Chains A and B, each alone.
Chain A
Amino acid sequence: AQSVTQLDSQVPVFEEAPVELRCNYSSSVSVYLFWYVQYPNQGLQLLLKYLSGSTLVESINGFEAEFNKSQTSFHLRKPSVHISDTAEYFCAVSVQAGTALIFGKGTTLSVSS
């Protein structure tokens, strides 16, 4: 069975500082990897995904994540965060197209000035 571990439940940072949200997964088969973001009082939105190819994937708002197969990790990074990045971030895996996502417990990113 697959599982996802998000190592930090809360990450407080100051505006313009870099941030890394950690995600490790467990699976005996190849996986697809995702980061979803949930802003306050809103639904889950896809931030970025790794399906195949380049192990470094980027989002339109400056986040990036790197798939590391040997370390079974998919950490999310941003070199300089904004107040508007304050949200809950979920890492998720899927083992094949069309199947449900398996989520981690989430990391709350709090950005202050």
Chain B
Amino acid sequence: EAGVAQSPRYKIIEKRQSVAFWCNPISGHATLYWYQQILGQGPKLLIQFQNNGVVDDSQLPKDRFSAERLKGVDSTLKIQPAKLEDSAVYLCASNLAGGIFQEQFFGPGTRLTVL
């Protein structure tokens, strides 16, 4: 079974530029999460999708961050314009929907450096 795929793995941009990250979850996984992991901290949820609908985006900085999951499969996270404090690893995770807790599977992450 293929895991969660993310691209690119690394990205370096100047502040005020825009950037986009892509995630392809495990086939059949209805729930998709984007987490931000700043150096020295644990991952923090940015947004959660159930199929193509948003479940939780309360911690997404909506003035500069946006995300979509148009067909309920892969997802794109965008930052525009980027700030220095956006330097972090962006993790995508997915799991099956259901009542009993299903394990979240994480992708390798995209490491963003904003100069």
Give chain A's interface residues, CB within 8 Å of chain B: 4, 6, 9, 32, 36, 42-46, 49, 51, 90, 92, 94, 97-106
Contact = CB atoms under 8 A, between A and B. Distances in A.
Interface residues of B, number: 28
B72 interface: no
A9 B101 CA distance: 28
A92 B101 contact: no
**Taking chain B's interface residues, is the majority helix, strand, or loop, or is none over half, making it mixed?**
loop
A91 to B, nearest CB: 8
Interface of B: 3-4, 31, 33, 35, 40-45, 48, 50, 56, 91, 93, 97-104, 106-109
Contact of A49 (B33, B101, B106, B108): B101
B103 A105 contact: no
B99 A105 contact: no
Given A36-B106, A98-B50, 13 more contacts: A4-B42, A43-B4, A44-B106, A90-B42, A97-B98, A97-B102, A98-B98, A99-B48, A100-B35, A100-B48, A101-B43, A102-B45, A105-B42
